[in-house]
Each structure stands twice: as C-alpha cells, then as structure tokens.
C-alpha cells in the first residue's frame, strides 16, 4: 500500500479532573466511553483529596493520580483534559488546562455565568486550543428522534414549545447535589 493512502492513528493521553471512585459523570460515563475508544488512553486522574485520587486510581487502574488538578495539566503525556468537577470550579481548572496548552473537554454548563464562559472562550481562542462543552443529551435517542421529525417537516412550523425538566428525585436533595440549589453555582 502506498504511504500516502495509509492512515496512522495516534493515541491521545487523557487526564480527568474530578474523578470519584464511587459516583459522578467521570466514573459512570466518561471513563467507560474513553476506554471503548481505541485512540484515547486515560493516563491521569485528579480527585478532591489525595485519598480520593488514590482510590480512584486503584478502582480505574490509572497510576498517575493527583489531589491538585493543576499538577495533572503539567504532565507532558496528557493531550486532553476532561473537566468533570462542579461548575464553580470550571473556570479555574479549564483556564489552567488551556494555559498548559491542553485540549479541553468540559462538562456543561461551561461556567457559572456568561462572563465565565466568555473568559474561557477568549483564552481558548488565544491559545488556539481545541475545546468542547459536553452536553450529551443532544445525542439521546429521544432528542434525535424529535430532531428528525422537525427536520423532515413532520410537525410543521413550530410556534411554541413547553419544556419540563427534572433533576434530583425526591423531596430531599442529598448533600452531594446541594450545591445545585445555589443559583451562583451555574
């Protein structure tokens, strides 16, 4: 086969900020998805404490673990940083990853407010960095079905919509999710 028609795939090293050994998006969604993709390798994790990071490393089989996410972005074998921490910490950690020259995947919402989002977008543009904000619901089968109905003209012109959103089930919000009740957290 001619060299010009051959494709080569390189493996991208991923560092994930905000990994809990027992719950959260990183553990339940990001790690399984990244492991299913041959061009990504999870090379480092950070947690909110040294103990949490160590436990996550053991659970997920990752040797490089950090309690300080800024140490993670300094690793030369990390190409992409996934920011999966609570929203109030997005700007600080996304900015650190961008300043270190890393590509960034950040959970939605990007920031607590428009100023946060604009500051991160400006830094990404300045650095020429690849970035993405994760909003996985748009690929949900039900959403894709509605998109197809709209695209194909099945429902005609949309004049209004009603949205109903659900979040934390039950009458009591558990401590891990209590921060979501504070509007300043995004």
DSSP character string of 87-141: GGGHHHHHHHHHHTT-EEEEESSSSSSHHHHHHHHHHHHHHT--EEEE-GGGGSH
pLDDT digits (tens, 9 = 90+) for 132-160: 999 867 677 888 898 899 999 998 888 99
| Average pLDDT score over residue span 58-69 | 96
What are the structural domains of the chain? 3-136 (3.40.50.720)
Q: Are 83 and 57 in contact (CB under 8 A)?
A: no
Per the prediction, the chain carries an average pLDDT of 88
- Return left, alpha or beta for 18; rule: phi > 0 is left, psi -120 to 50 is alpha, else beta: left
Single pTM value for the model: 0.78
Tell me, what DSSP letter sits at residue 170? S
pLDDT digits (tens, 9 = 90+) for 20-40: 988 888 888 899 999 999 999
């Amino acid at each position: 086969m001619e060299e010009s028609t051959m494709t080569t795939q390189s493996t991208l090293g991923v560092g994930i900020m905000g990994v809990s050994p027992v719950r959260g998006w990183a553990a339940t969604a990001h790690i399984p998805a990244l492991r299913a993709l041959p061009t990504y390798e999870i090379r480092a994790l950070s947690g909110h404490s040294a103990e949490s990071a160590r436990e996550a490393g053991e659970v997920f089989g990752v040797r490089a673990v950090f309690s300080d996410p800024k140490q993670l972005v300094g690793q030369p074998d990390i190409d992409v940083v996934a920011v999966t921490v609570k929203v109030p910490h997005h700007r600080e950690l996304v900015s650190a990853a961008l300043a270190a020259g890393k590509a960034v995947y950040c959970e939605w919402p990007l920031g607590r407010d428009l100023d946060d989002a604009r500051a991160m977008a400006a830094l990404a543009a300045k650095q020429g960095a690849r970035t993405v904000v994760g909003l996985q619901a748009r690929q949900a089968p039900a959403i894709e079905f509605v998109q197809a109905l709209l695209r194909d003209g099945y429902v005609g012109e949309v004049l209004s919509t009603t949205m109903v959103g659900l979040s934390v089930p039950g009458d009591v919000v558990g401590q891990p999710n209590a921060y979501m009740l504070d509007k300043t957290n995004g």
